[in-house]
Amino acid sequence: MNNAGFMAEMAEEEMQQEQKPATQEEAEDAELEKQEKLAFPVAAVVRLMRKHLDREKIIKKDVKIAMNKWLERVCSKVAREMNKFPYVTMSINEFKEGVRVYDDMENFEKDKKRILAHLDAIKKDIERLERDLGKIESDVY
C-alpha cells in the first residue's frame, strides 16, 4: 500500500469515528430521530434541556419525543403567523410579530405575580387597620 492509500484509509476511518455517537445516549437519540421522523435533532433538544435541569436528572425517551414535537408545533404556529404578512422576505419584525403571543404570555405571568403581591400587601394593610380600630378576628367573618 502506498502512502496516499494509507492516508486515505486513515481519513476514512477518522470520518467513521466522528460519525459514531460518543455516548450510548447519543446513539439512542440518533435512532430515535430515525424512528420518529422528528423535526429537530434530539441531541440538540436534549442539550438545551440539560442546561436547565439538575445534573442527576434523567430525561426519558417519551419526554424527548414530546419536547421535539412541541417545538415543531410552536415553530409551525410562528411560521403561520409570519405567513399572514404580504411580504416576500421575512424580517425580524415579522418574526417578532409571530412570537408575540408567547412573549405576551411571559409578560402576563409577570404581571399576575406583581398583582398578587400587591393584593397581599393590601390584605395586610386591611388587617392592620382592623387591629388599629379594635376589630377582633371573630367579627371579621
79 Cβ neighbours under 8 A, 6+ residues apart: 98
Q: What pLDDT does 8 receive?
A: 55
Residue 97 lies in a domain: no
pLDDT digits (tens, 9 = 90+) for 70-92: 999 999 999 999 999 998 898 99
In a domain, 8, yes or no: yes
Residue 138 has pLDDT above 60, yes or no: no
Q: Is residue 15 in some structural domain?
A: yes
Do 80 and 106 share a domain, yes or no?
no
Assess whether 22 and 71 both reside in one domain.
Answer: yes
pLDDT at residue 141, rounded to an integer: 55
Number of domains in the chain: 2
Same domain assignment for residues 75 and 140: no
Within a domain: 78: yes
Closest CA to 95 of 108, 106, 107, 80: 80
Question: Please, are residues 60 and 66 in contact by the beta-carbon 8 Å criterion?
Answer: no
**Does any domain span residue 92?**
no
- Establish if 91 belongs to a structural domain: no
Cell 367579627 appears where? 139
25 domain-assigned:
yes
What's the domain range around 45?
Answer: 3-84
DSSP SS3 for 89: coil
Please state the pTM of the whole predicted model.
0.56
Segment 35-57 mean pLDDT: 88
